[in-house]
Amino acid sequence: MKNNIRLIFLVVFSLLVAKFVVAEKYRGTSGNKNTNKVGAETCSPATGSTDLNINNVRTRINTGGDMWWDLIDVAKYEIPKGSKKTSMFSAALWIGGVDANGQLKVAALRYRQQGNDYWPGPLTTDGTAAVDAATCQEYDKHFVITRKEVDEYLAWWNNKASYPDYQIPQSINNWPAHGDPDKLQSYYLAPFFDNDGDGAYDPTMGDYPYYDVNNSLCPTNPENIGNPSLPTAEGNGILVDQVLKGDQTLWWVFNDKGNVHTESQGSPIGLEIRAQAFAFSTNDEINNLFQPMV
């Protein structure tokens, strides 16, 4: 199911890249009222944003399912960085489908002109897929990490005597590896390398945000990818999809259950989306790219 959701996202995202190159005002009717109730969940729309800017691109990533703009009317996909030239205006995540009872469920955004369909934060795992306003507010941000920070951490961990003044950065100390069990959230959230194998994230014990530092998860033979009979690193590659990518990485989590879908007027699906956007700093064409991913 998780792989299917990733595939759906990649397909939908590819379509949206082409669709949102030129900004277009909403042409539908205004004032529609969504009567789909969500109980006590009363989250406010996401307002957080971060610029991904480690290479020759500066692009705005928002915390509520859209990107590349300032939520008002200014494009924020600048390339080359500093040129004030923007190649795209905005993009947003659209997901829809029919449930077992034949009911259409949709979560989508279009410039937030009519409202909102996504809210920050993880959902509960008790079968209700619920979220409260405090959780939405707590997670209305990106967790920003760089590969350099992790490399420096590992250099210290492997030879502490050579780095007597090193202090673990807050980006590693405050990594959102676990949800809140008191709120019935998933125990495992953001990916981390569990150095001591105890299942709990603790940077003082060698745990760190999970970049595949040694490329140990990459299949040595691309023809083996997707073969479930082979070990993870050689076959289905599940862990490859779950580790962090890039030299600068933004990780965040959002959902479609925080309130009424006032943008699409659709019924909530119950999605918890754990996302990352990343960029590489290189001396070739990749230095002019960034990659969003779920």
Can you give the pLDDT of all 294 residues of the chain as single tens digits? 444 444 333 334 333 433 344 445 544 444 444 545 554 458 999 999 999 999 999 999 999 999 988 988 898 989 888 888 888 888 999 999 998 999 999 999 988 888 999 999 999 999 999 999 999 999 999 999 999 999 999 999 999 999 999 999 999 999 999 999 999 999 999 999 999 999 999 999 999 999 999 887 776 666 666 666 665 555 555 566 679 999 999 999 999 999 999 999 999 999 999 999 999 998 888 787 766 655
Q: How many CA within 13 A on the CB side of residue 170?
A: 2
Q: Look at residue 14 in the predicted model and tell me its pLDDT.
A: 36
The tokens of 42 are what?
């009363």
Beta bridge partners of 255: 119, 272
Q: How far apart are the first and last CA of the chain?
A: 13
Q: Look at residue 37 in the predicted model and tell me its pLDDT.
A: 53
- Decide if 112 is inside a domain: yes
d(CA 22, CA 27): 15
d(CA 45, CA 68): 17
CA-CA-CA-CA dihedral for 255, 217, 55, 175, to nearest 10: 50
Q: Look at residue 24 in the predicted model and tell me its pLDDT.
A: 52
The tokens of 266 are what?
């659709």
How many domains are there within the chain?
1
Q: How many CB atoms lie within 10 A of CB 279?
A: 25
d(CA 73, CA 79): 18
- Decide if 177 is inside a domain: yes
Under 8 Å between Cβ of 95 and 103: no
- Decide if 12 is inside a domain: yes
Under 8 Å between Cβ of 251 and 276: yes
For the whole model, what pTM was predicted? 0.82
Estimate to the nearest angstrom the gap between the alpha carbon of 91 and the chain centroid.
14
Q: Look at residue 19 in the predicted model and tell me its pLDDT.
A: 39
Q: Look at residue 216 in the predicted model and tell me its pLDDT.
A: 77
Q: How far is CA 177 from CA 79, 208, 268, in A?
A: 33, 9, 26
In 3D space, the residue among 237, 272, 223 whose CA is nearest the CA of residue 65 turns out to be 272
Q: Look at residue 283 in the predicted model and tell me its pLDDT.
A: 87
- Decide if 222 is inside a domain: no
Q: Look at residue 20 in the predicted model and tell me its pLDDT.
A: 40
- Decide if 231 is inside a domain: no
- Decide if 15 is inside a domain: yes
- Decide if 176 is inside a domain: yes
The contacts of residue 209 (CB under 8 Å, 6+ apart) are: 145, 150, 171, 172, 175, 190, 191, 192, 193, 244, 249, 251
Under 8 Å between Cβ of 154 and 160: no
Host domain of residue 85: 2-23+44-211+246-293
Q: Which helix (H) or strand (E) covers residue 8, if one does?
A: helix 2-19
Kindly give the pairing relationship between strand 248-255 and strand 119-120.
Answer: antiparallel
- Decide if 227 is inside a domain: no
